[in-house]
Structure 1
Amino acid sequence: MTYTHESKKPTAARREAQKAFREADAKVAMSEYERNQKAFHANRERLRSERLAREAAATAKAAQSESADHVRKKRIVS
Protein backbone atom coordinates (compact mmCIF):
# COMPACT_ATOMS: atom_id res chain seq x y z
CA MET A 1 0.00 0.00 0.00
CA THR A 2 1.61 3.20 -1.11
CA TYR A 3 0.25 6.58 -0.25
CA THR A 4 1.25 9.48 -2.37
CA HIS A 5 0.34 13.05 -1.86
CA GLU A 6 0.17 15.11 -4.94
CA SER A 7 0.01 18.80 -4.25
CA LYS A 8 -2.36 20.59 -6.52
CA LYS A 9 -2.21 24.29 -7.06
CA PRO A 10 -5.35 25.91 -5.70
CA THR A 11 -7.59 27.51 -8.24
CA ALA A 12 -8.22 31.24 -8.24
CA ALA A 13 -11.66 30.72 -6.73
CA ARG A 14 -10.18 28.55 -3.97
CA ARG A 15 -7.53 31.17 -3.20
CA GLU A 16 -10.16 33.90 -3.01
CA ALA A 17 -12.30 31.78 -0.69
CA GLN A 18 -9.32 31.09 1.58
CA LYS A 19 -8.46 34.79 1.60
CA ALA A 20 -12.03 35.68 2.57
CA PHE A 21 -12.02 33.14 5.41
CA ARG A 22 -8.65 34.40 6.68
CA GLU A 23 -9.92 37.99 6.66
CA ALA A 24 -13.08 36.99 8.54
CA ASP A 25 -11.04 35.07 11.12
CA ALA A 26 -8.68 38.02 11.51
CA LYS A 27 -11.60 40.39 12.14
CA VAL A 28 -13.00 38.08 14.81
CA ALA A 29 -9.60 37.70 16.44
CA MET A 30 -8.96 41.46 16.43
CA SER A 31 -12.37 42.28 17.87
CA GLU A 32 -11.82 39.70 20.61
CA TYR A 33 -8.36 41.14 21.31
CA GLU A 34 -9.74 44.70 21.47
CA ARG A 35 -12.57 43.60 23.78
CA ASN A 36 -10.07 41.89 26.09
CA GLN A 37 -7.81 44.95 26.09
CA LYS A 38 -10.71 47.26 26.98
CA ALA A 39 -11.74 44.96 29.83
CA PHE A 40 -8.15 44.76 31.07
CA HIS A 41 -7.70 48.54 31.05
CA ALA A 42 -11.06 49.14 32.72
CA ASN A 43 -10.19 46.67 35.48
CA ARG A 44 -6.73 48.20 35.91
CA GLU A 45 -8.23 51.70 36.25
CA ARG A 46 -10.79 50.44 38.77
CA LEU A 47 -8.09 48.80 40.87
CA ARG A 48 -5.90 51.92 40.61
CA SER A 49 -8.69 54.19 41.85
CA GLU A 50 -9.40 51.81 44.74
CA ARG A 51 -5.70 51.77 45.66
CA LEU A 52 -5.46 55.57 45.52
CA ALA A 53 -8.55 55.86 47.72
CA ARG A 54 -7.05 53.45 50.27
CA GLU A 55 -3.75 55.33 50.25
CA ALA A 56 -5.51 58.67 50.71
CA ALA A 57 -7.54 57.28 53.61
CA ALA A 58 -4.41 55.84 55.21
CA THR A 59 -2.56 59.14 54.81
CA ALA A 60 -5.44 61.08 56.34
CA LYS A 61 -5.68 58.62 59.22
CA ALA A 62 -1.92 58.81 59.82
CA ALA A 63 -1.99 62.61 59.80
CA GLN A 64 -4.91 62.63 62.21
CA SER A 65 -3.17 60.13 64.47
CA GLU A 66 0.06 62.16 64.36
CA SER A 67 -1.71 65.36 65.37
CA ALA A 68 -3.47 63.51 68.20
CA ASP A 69 -0.11 62.14 69.41
CA HIS A 70 1.36 65.64 69.30
CA VAL A 71 -1.48 66.97 71.48
CA ARG A 72 -1.06 64.10 73.98
CA LYS A 73 2.69 64.71 74.27
CA LYS A 74 2.11 68.40 74.76
CA ARG A 75 -0.34 67.76 77.60
CA ILE A 76 2.01 65.32 79.30
CA VAL A 77 4.92 67.77 79.18
CA SER A 78 2.86 70.64 80.59
Structure 2
Amino acid sequence: MTEDISYRRKPLTPEQRQARDATRRIEAEKALRDHEEAQKAFYANKERLKAERLARQAAGEKP
Protein backbone atom coordinates (compact mmCIF):
# COMPACT_ATOMS: atom_id res chain seq x y z
CA MET A 1 0.00 0.00 0.00
CA THR A 2 1.42 3.40 -0.93
CA GLU A 3 1.42 6.29 1.47
CA ASP A 4 0.01 9.62 0.33
CA ILE A 5 2.71 12.10 1.31
CA SER A 6 0.98 15.10 -0.26
CA TYR A 7 -1.31 15.35 2.77
CA ARG A 8 1.43 15.75 5.36
CA ARG A 9 1.55 19.11 7.05
CA LYS A 10 4.64 21.22 7.18
CA PRO A 11 6.06 21.57 10.69
CA LEU A 12 5.26 24.83 12.43
CA THR A 13 7.93 27.35 13.15
CA PRO A 14 8.47 28.26 16.81
CA GLU A 15 6.78 31.62 16.20
CA GLN A 16 3.75 29.96 14.61
CA ARG A 17 3.55 27.49 17.48
CA GLN A 18 3.68 30.31 20.05
CA ALA A 19 0.97 32.23 18.21
CA ARG A 20 -1.22 29.11 18.00
CA ASP A 21 -0.72 28.35 21.68
CA ALA A 22 -1.51 31.93 22.68
CA THR A 23 -4.70 31.89 20.60
CA ARG A 24 -5.77 28.56 22.10
CA ARG A 25 -5.08 29.84 25.61
CA ILE A 26 -7.15 32.98 25.04
CA GLU A 27 -10.04 30.97 23.55
CA ALA A 28 -9.93 28.49 26.45
CA GLU A 29 -10.02 31.27 29.03
CA LYS A 30 -12.98 32.87 27.26
CA ALA A 31 -14.80 29.54 27.15
CA LEU A 32 -14.22 29.05 30.88
CA ARG A 33 -15.48 32.56 31.66
CA ASP A 34 -18.58 31.98 29.54
CA HIS A 35 -19.22 28.65 31.26
CA GLU A 36 -18.82 30.14 34.73
CA GLU A 37 -21.14 33.00 33.80
CA ALA A 38 -23.77 30.55 32.55
CA GLN A 39 -23.45 28.47 35.72
CA LYS A 40 -23.92 31.54 37.93
CA ALA A 41 -27.01 32.55 35.96
CA PHE A 42 -28.41 29.01 36.17
CA TYR A 43 -27.98 28.76 39.94
CA ALA A 44 -29.31 32.27 40.52
CA ASN A 45 -32.43 31.37 38.55
CA LYS A 46 -32.71 28.07 40.43
CA GLU A 47 -32.58 29.85 43.79
CA ARG A 48 -35.14 32.44 42.62
CA LEU A 49 -37.55 29.73 41.54
CA LYS A 50 -37.01 27.83 44.79
CA ALA A 51 -37.77 30.97 46.81
CA GLU A 52 -40.95 31.56 44.79
CA ARG A 53 -42.06 27.95 45.30
CA LEU A 54 -41.43 28.13 49.04
CA ALA A 55 -43.33 31.43 49.26
CA ARG A 56 -46.31 29.87 47.44
CA GLN A 57 -46.23 26.85 49.73
CA ALA A 58 -46.06 29.11 52.79
CA ALA A 59 -49.05 31.06 51.49
CA GLY A 60 -51.01 27.82 51.32
CA GLU A 61 -51.28 27.41 47.56
CA LYS A 62 -51.14 23.98 46.03
CA PRO A 63 -48.03 23.24 43.90
Correspondence for 2:43 among 16, 41, 46: 41
Correspondence for 2:15 among 1, 13, 25: 13
Taking the TM superposition and a 5 Å limit, the aligned residue runs for 1:1-78 are 4-58=6-60
- Superposed CA RMSD: 1.3
The two structures have a TM-score, normalised by structure 1, of 0.67
How far does residue 12 in structure 1 lie from its aligned partner after superposition? 0.7
Q: Which has the higher helix share?
A: 1
Structure 1's unaligned 5+ residue stretches are 60-78
Name the % identity.
Answer: 45
* Structure 2 match to 1:62: none
Larger Rg: 1 or 2? 1
Q: Which amino acid aligns with 1:43?
A: N
Higher RCO (Cα < 8 Å, 6 or more apart): 2
Structure 2's unaligned 5+ residue stretches are 1-5
The two structures have a TM-score, normalised by structure 2, of 0.81
Instruction: Report how many aligned residue pairs link the two structures.
Output: 56
* Structure 2 match to 1:71: none
How far does residue 8 in structure 1 lie from its aligned partner after superposition? 1.2
Q: Distance in 2 between matches of 1:22 and 1:39?
A: 26
